[in-house]
């Protein structure tokens, strides 16, 4: 009777350890920063640097929900649109309201570092 009870306890302990290890491995594989995050920001253009392909935007930070001036790098293949027509990055003017589609990707092995890239800019039709 005691041996049977010890065998059940050992089996239950082994099962619990295996289940815990299985769930831990799933948690590592399903890390929330593995896939790039794509989001949209609206704001006022404060600077457009054509040489370095960068823009500064006065907008609301999606993480802190506070108004901030944010710097973004523009992808080489980014679309810059005025309605349906494509325009050059240099055609953007300070003070224009724009909508940016941005991709945030965390660097491999460096979860404290991220790469933020704009791959579509369009002039805000509301203004």
What are the pLDDT digits (tens) for 62-108?
778 889 998 889 999 999 999 899 999 999 999 999 999 998 877 77
What are the pLDDT digits (tens) for 36-56?
688 898 999 999 999 999 999
**How far is residue 102's CA from residue 70's CA, in Å, rounded to a whole number?**
12
Q: What is the CATH number of the domain that holds 113?
A: 2.40.50.320
Q: How many CB atoms lie within 10 A of CB 6?
A: 10
What pLDDT sits at residue 30?
45
Local structure of residue 33 (DSSP, 8 states): T
Angle formed at CA 104 by CA 32 and CA 119, multiple of 5 degrees: 145
Query: pTM of whole model > 0.85?
Result: no
Higher confidence at residue 112 or residue 72?
A: 72
What pLDDT sits at residue 44?
94
Q: What value does the mean pLDDT take over residues 108-121?
A: 79
> Do residues 12 and 74 both lie within one domain?
no
3 state DSSP class of 73: strand
> Do residues 55 and 91 both lie within one domain?
yes
Tokens linked to 87: 């325009």
> Do residues 41 and 100 both lie within one domain?
yes
* Domain of residue 21, residue span: 1-30
**In the predicted structure, residue 26 carries a pLDDT above the cut 50:** no
Instruction: Look at 30-34, 52-56, 58-62, 107-111 and tell me which has the smallest mean pLDDT.
Output: 30-34
Question: What are the residue ranges of helices labelled H in 1-127?
Answer: 2-29
**How far is residue 7's CA from residue 17's CA, in Å, rounded to a whole number?**
15
């Amino acid at each position: 009777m005691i041996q049977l009870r010890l065998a059940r306890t050992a089996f239950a302990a082994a099962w619990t350890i295996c289940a815990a290890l299985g769930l831990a491995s799933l948690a590592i594989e399903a890390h929330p920063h593995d896939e790039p995050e794509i989001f949209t920001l609206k704001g006022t253009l404060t600077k457009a640097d054509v040489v370095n392909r960068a823009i500064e935007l006065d907008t609301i930070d999606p993480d802190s929900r506070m108004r901030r001036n944010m710097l973004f790098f523009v992808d080489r293949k980014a679309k810059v649109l005025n309605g349906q027509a494509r325009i050059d990055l240099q055609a953007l003017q300070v003070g224009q309201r724009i909508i940016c589609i941005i991709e945030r990707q965390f660097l491999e092995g460096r979860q404290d570092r991220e790469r933020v890239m704009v791959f579509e800019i369009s002039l805000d039709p509301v203004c």
